[in-house]
Amino acid sequence: MTDLTNTKIVMKSRPVGMPTNDNFEIQSEPVASPGENEMLLGTLWLSLDPYMRGRMSDRKSYAKPLEIGEVITGGVVSQVLESNNADYPVGTIVSGMYGWQSHAIAKPDDYRLFKVDANLAPISTAVGTTGMPGQTAYFGLLKLGKPQPGETVVVSAASGAVGSVVGQIAKIKGCRAVGLAGGKAKCDYVVNELGFDVCIDYKEADFAEKLAAACPNGVDVYFENVGGEVLDAVAPLLNKGARVPVCGFISAYNATSEDQIKTPEMVLGALEHPPESRFFIVTEWIEEFEDATKALAEWIQSGDLKYRESIVEGLENAPEAFRMLFTGENFGKLMIKVAEPI
């Protein structure tokens, strides 16, 4: 397939604050042929996720920063176009971490390479509700949040890819689910379509008061995605023995200096009864990914787990679409449709 061209988007410069198109560069190169035991993949779907912003900075973090000129990291759903591996015949659908590019050469032992079963759920969900965002919600809530029937679970960014799944799993487990989202449309979606008990608009002036009224028995589990003023409002409501899985704090991702960052540890550690809390990454439970995917897919099939995808067409539009994660424009899981299966 030497006549194919790989289109890739690399980091041209490190963003200061909100990323701009100038921080990215679209490049083209010939597609290489797969070697022994390798496969050539064609990207179908590209996931856009907030954690990618952290990889673009050179701050100390749990993951190595991207280098200038490196393909932007990201999860994809791909199809095997050419194969020298009997376990991955041509046409096989896989998910993996091959980033912002149209093609990639894969090895069977690549990190987070999984076959995608199209009979379980639509293949796009492999980078959404049954993939990394859904698994993040599943493990973060069940392993660290440990929700018990009758407890109150509060979820920030409740209309997003992770938060929407957290709240629905909380309901499946018999909890009261309180969502936090920005704007009436998102709050209506969270309650009317996802089935949360209530959703509070964090943009309203009396947000803290409304949140307190929605949690008359306090908060037992808070799934943290946002930080900032949202965390400040939730923290005083946390019950003794509360659990706070920290998935992220998107309010700080575009900070231009360390002084602007108030971490969850700072806020929660100052409480009289600090909750059981820690930051986590989903790969801590990578050995259980297939079990999580199966459970999430079964909930989709039963109608207990609903999802929405915000789809942008064309790999070249990834940089502009990426900013939607930080402006609140996207609903549900944000992804790029790169190509149709062959």
Contact criterion met (CB below 8 Å) for 97 and 73? yes
| pLDDT of res. 251 | 47
| pLDDT of res. 252 | 43
| pLDDT of res. 129 | 97
Rounded to a whole number of angstroms, the distance between the first and last alpha carbons of the chain is 14
Ordered domains of the chain (ranges, CATH): 5-125+308-337 (3.90.180.10), 132-283 (3.40.50.720)
Burial bucket for residue 107 (CB in 10 Å: 0-12, 13-18, 19+): middle
How is 97-134 classified by DSSP, letter by letter?
---SBSEEEE-TT-TT-EE--TTTS-GGGGGTTTSHHH
Contact criterion met (CB below 8 Å) for 234 and 208? no
Residue 176's nearest CA partner among 210, 199, 153, 144 is 153
Q: Which two tokens stand for residue 8?
A: 């890739």
Crossing angle (nearest 10°) for helices 289-302 and 132-139: 100
Residues of the chain with pLDDT under 70: 1-2, 60-63, 249-262
Q: Which two tokens stand for residue 321?
A: 């679409």
Q: Going by C-beta distance under 8 Å and a sequence separation of 6 or more, which residues neighbour residue 260? A: 252
* pLDDT tens digit sequence for 218-257: 999 999 998 889 999 999 999 999 999 999 865 444 443 4
| pLDDT of res. 17 | 86
Residue 214: CB atoms within 10 A of its CB come to 19
| pLDDT of res. 62 | 64
| pLDDT of res. 261 | 56
C-alpha 286/C-alpha 96 separation (Å) is 13
The pTM of this model reads 0.89
Tell me how long the chain is. Answer: 342
- The β-bridge partners of 228 are none
